[in-house]
Amino acid sequence: MAELLITGGAGFIGSHTCLVLLEAGHRLVILDNFSNSSAIASKRVAELAGVAAQERMLVLEGDIRNSNDLDRAFNSMENGIAAVVHFAGLKAVHESVQLPLKYWDVNVAGSRCLLEAMQRHNCRTIVFSSSATLYGYPEQIPIPETTRVQPINPYGQSKAAVEQLLDDLACSEPGWRIARLRYFNPVGAHSSGCIGEDPKGIPNNLFPFVSQVAVGRRAELQVFGADWPTPDGSGVRDYIHVMDLAEGHRAALEVLQREEPQLLTLNLGSGKGHSVLEVVQAFEKASGQPVPYSINQRRAGDAACSVADPRLAAERLGWYTQRSLSDMCRDSWNWQKANPQGYSQKQQ
Ligand SMILES: NC(=O)c1ccc[n+]([C@@H]2O[C@H](COP(=O)([O-])OP(=O)(O)OC[C@H]3O[C@@H](n4cnc5c(N)ncnc54)[C@H](O)[C@@H]3O)[C@@H](O)[C@H]2O)c1
């Protein structure tokens, strides 16, 4: 059992990871400014974890760019904070092209503030949410961690900058225990349907879009490009169930705490690629609902294919994905069906 600070813990990946960490017996402080999430997500995590676990979770509203908020979080536990799982950040690629300063502020300056607070509070263990976006147009498929980092948008640049910052920190002080986890495409929801992905505004990612079409919130899906060099012409991605991803965080924390200080850089993906049209078909099957779509031109900045080589994570963490595309569709649909307006409908 350890005291953990979870930044962005009310968000999509954060909420599912909090549940897994509570179930593993940890004590959590969540720091979130709710700019892209709802406090209801954390309430539901507490309900799912059960009465005994609820006492081990504290939710604080605050910003990672504010050192007072960070100090409040670090001081909230009697025994201090042993490790940080750092999810807080902005993640919309296309918004980042429009608003690069915002992305450098929240993702890079925010991470720097957090790392300064960790130094102040003598905490040297961090799991960082990085992204496969930093591979840009990948040079090989599947993509190993040794592939060149060459982001093609400000979001990817901001993740690469934080990775570099962590690298510099690990070199400057040997005591740091750091995991940089490069996620591929997290989707799905907890099997209860009580927590899931609830993006504000128009979804940027395929799964929430598809499920909002299936539930009747949006008329049709726009497929960007049917002329990619892939088997059916639509883009291919490596989708990972959010519960597999959450379990990957627990495994990374365990390795960091058990082994000597180190810097780990790992892909978290399934190693399997699925095309947009395959996802549409699988979703229709899981939901029993039609998902109408139209074919549009390719979007600038998209790659044909992105699939992880997940072998290093399996070797270092003993972790690999266990849930299939149909599990991802079933669980996304369960969540969407039970919460057609996301968390907002239950706000009272
Ligand atoms: N979902 C993906 O496709 C994906 C892929 C790769 C990497 N990531 C990274 O994983 C992390 C979590 O992603 P997610 O999908 O759960 O996103 P999310 O938006 O659901 O979660 C991020 C959380 O951080 C909070 N937050 C944002 N700015 C903050 C700030 N300044 N201070 C405190 N809290 C703040 C938001 O309110 C939200 O709860 C992000 O860093 C993201 O870049 C996500």
Please give the distance, rounded to the nearest whole angstrom, from the Cα atom of residue 249 to the centre of ligand 1: 15
At 299 the pLDDT is 87
Under the banding of pLDDT at 50, 70 and 90, the label for residue 15 is: very high
Q: Is 135 a catalytic residue?
A: no
Output phi, psi for 86, to 5 deg: -105, 95
At 347 the pLDDT is 41
Which ligand 1 atom is at minimum distance from the Cα of 86? 41
- Give SS3 for 10: coil
At 344 the pLDDT is 86
Query: Which H/E stretch holds residue 170?
Result: helix 154-172
At 116 the pLDDT is 98
Question: 96-132, pLDDT tens digit by residue?
Answer: 999 999 999 999 999 999 999 999 999 999 999 999 9
Distance (Å, whole) CA 59 – CA 274: 36
Candidates 162, 26, 161; CA nearest to 87 is 162
Instruction: Indicate which residue's Cα is closest to atom 18 of ligand 1.
Output: 11
Share of the chain above pLDDT 70, in %: 99
Distance (Å, whole) CA 218 – CA 343: 17
Can you list the domains of the chain with their CATH numbers? 3-346 (3.40.50.720)
pLDDT exceeds cutoff 70 at 348: no
Which positions ≥6 away from 176 have C-beta within 8 Å?
A: 124, 125, 126, 166, 169, 170, 261, 263
Q: Is the CB of 70 under 6 A from ligand 1?
A: no
At 77 the pLDDT is 94
* Beta pairing class for 177-183 and 305-306: unpaired
| Ligand 1 mutation pick, 5, 7, 12, 34, max ligand atoms within 8 A of CB | 12
Under the banding of pLDDT at 50, 70 and 90, the label for residue 345 is: low
Candidates 74, 69, 66, 160; CA nearest to 124 is 74
Which ligand 1 atom is at minimum distance from the Cα of 159? 43
293 beta partners: 221
pLDDT exceeds cutoff 90 at 346: no
Question: 170-196, pLDDT tens digit by residue?
Answer: 999 989 999 999 999 999 999 999 999
pLDDT exceeds cutoff 90 at 201: no
Distance (Å, whole) CA 211 – CA 11: 18
Under the banding of pLDDT at 50, 70 and 90, the label for residue 83 is: very high
Cβ(202)–Cβ(222) below 8 Å: no
Cβ(108)–Cβ(162) below 8 Å: yes
Question: 26-80, pLDDT tens digit by residue?
Answer: 999 999 999 999 999 999 999 999 988 889 999 999 999 999 999 999 999 999 9
Give the 3-state secondary structure of 62-77.
CCCCCHHHHHHHHHCC
* Identity of the amino acid at 346: K
Lowest-pLDDT choice from 257-271, 296-310, 332-346: 332-346
Distance (Å, whole) CA 260 – CA 257: 8
Exposure string of 36-71, with b = 16+ CB inside 10 Å and e = fewer, is: bbbebbbbbbbebbeeebeebbebbebbbbeeebbe
Average pLDDT, whole number, for the chain?
95
Distance (Å, whole) CA 115 – CA 84: 10
Using alpha carbons only, give the angle 1, 55, 251 rounded to the nearest 5 degrees: 30
At 265 the pLDDT is 98
- How far are the Cα atoms of 51, 151, 310 from residue 198, in angstroms, in the given order? 25, 26, 27
pLDDT exceeds cutoff 80 at 151: yes
Cβ atoms within 10 Å of 109's Cβ, excluding its own: 15
Distance (Å, whole) CA 112 – CA 63: 13
Which residue, chain included where needed, has tokens 């961690």? 145
pLDDT exceeds cutoff 90 at 300: no
Lowest-pLDDT choice from 204-213, 231-240, 270-279, 325-334: 204-213
Which positions ≥6 away from 177 have C-beta within 8 Å?
A: 83, 124, 125, 126, 256, 257, 259, 261, 262
Lowest-pLDDT choice from 83-87, 177-181, 296-300: 296-300
| Ligand 1 mutation pick, 5, 13, 29, 94, max ligand atoms within 8 A of CB | 13
Cβ atoms within 10 Å of 299's Cβ, excluding its own: 12
* Identity of the amino acid at 6: I
